[in-house]
Amino acid sequence: MVTVVPGADGEPKVGLDYQVNAWDRYNWDEGNGVTIGPLSIPDGQPARLHATGLAQEFDRQGSSPVKHYDLGSATSNNDPLPAPDDPGREGTRQDPGRERTKR
């Protein structure tokens, strides 16, 4: 949402409130798949696992908090948009960028 209000100096003050929303369904459709680097993984393999009860389809969704940015202010003219919040990992999956410990 963009808001514009008159400033004390007569120049308009412009603000931007924004939010990121994401949604995806992970399902295993025959004939589809994904390519990751040199690997090609067809959805037919997980579809067979799903049919036997060893894999499941699921929905993923999430929203960021609403952020505010003042456009045209003395600080915003020199600064990029604010960085996103650190989403954290909650310990539920491995971060490929983290160093691995030797066992």
**48-61 pLDDT tens trace:** 887 788 877 788 88
**67 neighbors 19 (Cβ within 8 angstroms):** yes
pLDDT grade for 1, boundaries at 50, 70 and 90: very high
Residue 81 or 31, more confident? 31
Judged on CB neighbours under 10 Å (0-12, 13-18, 19+), 36 is exposed
**16 neighbors 69 (Cβ within 8 angstroms):** yes
Note the pLDDT tens digit of each residue in 60-79: 888 888 888 888 765 555 55
How many CB atoms are located within 10 Å of the residue 28 CB?
19
Average pLDDT, integer, range 35-48: 82
Give dist(CA 43, CA 17) in Å, integer. Answer: 39
